Structure 1
Amino acid sequence: MNNKMALGAISVTSLIGVIVLGWFVYVRRINKPAAEAVSLNDNNRILDTPKSVAIESLLPAPTSTKQEMTEGISNSNEEAMNVYWLSRINELRQQKQLEPIAFDARLARTAMVWAVHMGTTRVLSHDRPNGEKVSEWIKAYNLPFKSRQPGGGYGNTFTENIGRAYADTSIKSLEKGLDQVLVSMVDEGPEGDHYRTIFSPDWNRYGGGFYFDPIAKDRVRVYMAFHYASLQ
């Protein structure tokens, strides 16, 4: 399958309490016959997984010190962050008469895997281990990408945005961190890669992953991965 990945320019925005660094990754499948989409369906295994994602199963076992320092963080925080981010994205899309995006647990899983990787390595990057391309990395999850062009061809089917913010363990502080990241992305304007992600008509599904790296009592560095896709 012919994949083309366009890496956007790095955008660094310094705000109080937030650092955002992102590359924009497009995975393109162009002019592929509908039969290949059927093949993706036939090989799909992710669809059989439960709707709820066991976040703890994706995280490394924390030390007792980290458990104490992130005492206020829970799965409910991560779920609330996904709900909040998606609501903000859809509000922006509505302003441009774009279709809303729905939450997808499969993308939350892939995003969580990458957020954990960034958080445990403390490196904010799209670069996969061993030089693996993002297009190859996402294939391992057998997601059923959806044809969105006449004749069964593929347009943009997957992209990843990443960010990092500092917050305390309250949901209000975490939401503020999300807002700061979002403002930084939107402020890029129509030529910015993150801006184009938010306002792209290609996506119909979203899932976010968040890793909380403790830096002090009730204070965390949050690594964020936002996965958007066109899925069946």
Structure 2
Amino acid sequence: MSENAERDPAGAATVRIIVVDDHPVFRMGMSALLGSLPGLRVEAEADSLASAVAAAQAQRPDVVVMDLHLGDREPSGVEATREVLRVRPGAAVLVVTMLDDDDSVFAAMRAGARGYLLKGASPAEIERAVRAVANGEVILGPAVASRAVAHLTSARFANPAMALPELTSREHEVLDLVARGLDNLAISRRLVLSPKTVRNHLSNILTKLQASSRAEAIVRARQAGLGEN
């Protein structure tokens, strides 16, 4: 937090928070919980990428509590995380979501999130996580942490597919899922991206690999070791 941060009566710096969630009942409940805790203050609520970015610019929060699903017509919370941190680099994003799959966890962390909890977390866990990320720590819920460790030590994670160095890490992920037989909609769900973003990544992949079709890109991917279960 900033050295010029406001302080509560006890002398501790006040943690300024924005809550981003498209479900009004959960958003209001989260705001009420956090606002009732000493040293924490909810400055704004948001339900979309645009409103989250606007709130981050206006309020300059220390912590942004972010859901990953912001509605079927909205970009994902992963993209919102990336945009919020672009306009407010000093913020710490704490994801609180229903999504507990490995792809969602790692997509959020790669976007810059410092914490990841499931919506079943207790009020005490949420409070601890908010204070931890505000202090610069990285925190994962117990179930998420155990799966993350397993994923990090797996052979799949250890293979960076450097046979295709012209691709970015995100393009490697997209191409890997294409080679596994997933369509664009399934890929968008796995990586918590919009279908349009997946199409853009695939177009870039075809251009970089000089592949004339999706099928040709799959062949190149498998030659590089991608798409293996």
TM-score (norm 2): 0.24
Pair member with larger Rg:
2
Structure (1 or 2) with the greater strand fraction: 1
TM-score (norm 1): 0.24
